[in-house]
Amino acid sequence: MRKITLPHIAEKHRKGERIAMVTAYDSTMASIVDEAGIDMILVGDSLGMVIQGHDTTIPVKLDEVIYHTSCVARGTKSALVMADLPFMSYQASRTQAMLAGGRALKEGMADAVKIEGGLEMAETVRMMTSAGIPVMAHIGLKPQSIRVMGTYKIHGKSLDDAKKLLEEAKAFEEAGAFSLLLEGVAVETATEITNSVSIPTVGISSGPGCSGQVLVIYDLLGFNPSFNPKFLKVYANGRGFIADAVKDYISEVKSGEFPSEQHSFHRK
């Protein structure tokens, strides 16, 4: 099993092979999706909601992302591992962004980082990539800007908004980003962006026209049945499977069936 690198991702894109990415946050889950053949694993700041129970990604700290990224990296042999730089770990200055990205690679053992932003972040991306920090730029619906947006909505539905997103995409491409994450972008706009840049686009709630797709691993496994947005496809009843297994365990513990002789040890 070879380690997937940035040149491998670029090669897949040139050949027209779609890129599959999931978010994961721990070594065990990372080893499972890695063994399944996933191309990229994103340690998303979505851990604030999925793992920590927050309502938004805003409270997530850089140290927490680095910790979870290092866990994922240790459980991964093949997939490219990417750290999602959290809110206010890179926006204050280009120097701050460089230091945060450097920590993600050095301490988190990440292969790349992801940052959200528009045209104002293009020069930051240029500096980071020039320093050897690979960057995926995140445009469209930007969860770290939820306090400004007020709500999660689809972007690029109007011609003016689509034009702005295309301008951002090209600016990030020119600045050296190795890929673009398109979140919550109208299908037509996402397809236009994908066809207008030479780097791969990875979409979530942005339709089939992107170069690849990403989903949160807990979402696609059906861990939270109450979370059922239109863009999500659930591939397993993970919550039901786990609940059934735990119920069986509880029953066997209370009946005395577990542990049995085969699970026990004896003194000499």
Distance CA 205, CA 153 (A): 10
Cβ burial of 125 (10 Å; 0-12, 13-18, 19+) is buried
The predicted model scores a pTM of 0.96
Percent of the chain past pLDDT 70, that is, above it, reads 100
The β-bridge relationship of strands 201-204 and 212-216 is parallel
- Residues marked active site are found at 183
Which amino acid does the sequence have at 116?
E
- The 10 Å Cβ neighbour count of residue 209 is 18
What CATH code is assigned to 6-236? 3.20.20.60
Q: Mean pLDDT over residues 145-165, rounded?
A: 91
pLDDT for 143:
95
The β-bridge relationship of strands 112-116 and 40-43 is unpaired
Give tens-digit pLDDT for 187-234: 999 999 999 999 999 999 999 999 999 999 999 999 999 999 999 999
Q: Mean pLDDT over residues 114-122, rounded?
A: 97
pLDDT for 126:
98
| pLDDT of 150 over the 80 cut | no
Nearest to 181 by CA among 244, 114, 241, 229: 114
Distance CA 187, CA 31 (A): 32
In the chain, which segments carry CATH 3.20.20.60?
Answer: 6-236
Which amino acid does the sequence have at 102?
G
